[in-house]
Amino acid sequence: MTDVRTQAELDQRWDIHTGRQIAASKGGVAAVTLLNSGSWLALLTQADKLAVLNNDTGAVATVVLCWGLGAFFGTLTWLFVYLSTLAQAQHDFQRDKHRHLIALEVARWLGLLCVFAALGLFVGGVFALSGLLT
């Protein structure tokens, strides 16, 4: 027996899945941004003490750079979530335009790249900071 669904039913399912994906994306981006931004701000309040403790301002600069860039990439991810939402809306209204799907995929991959960069920089900052504390 074949599964025959109307376009309205498919559209409703599409909307449900799209809403879930956007909610999950927003939550993930918020977590990455909070993780990097919060740790970066905490680190900035202690950076002078770390430099005095280790007498190595270059190493402290590496830690601050990692967390600062991590916060930047985490925040930049919001832009790609927004662009994905725009591309999704355009696709919903103009389904015959393939460029909207391409824009959606590009924004998705750039957003994922930013998330992985932010997480990688967080880990890099942790390792650089642990090197200062040993």
Q: How high is the pLDDT of residue 3?
A: 62
| DSSP string for residues in 2-65 | -----HHHHHHHHHHHHHHHHHHHHHHHHHHHHHHHHHHHHHHHHHHHHHHHHT-HHHHHHHHH
The domain total for the chain is 1
Q: Judge whether 4 lies within some domain.
A: no
- The pTM of the full predicted model, rounded to 2 decimals, is 0.70
- 116, part of any domain: yes
Q: Is residue 21 part of a domain?
A: no
Residue 51: the pLDDT is 63
**Domain interval for residue 71:** 28-133
How do the pLDDT tens digits run along the chain, 134 residues long?
556 677 777 777 777 777 777 777 777 777 777 777 777 777 777 767 776 666 666 777 888 888 889 888 988 888 888 888 888 878 777 878 888 889 889 998 999 999 899 889 989 988 888 887 76
Decide if 23 is inside a domain. Answer: no
- Give the Cβ contact number of residue 108 at 10 Å: 17
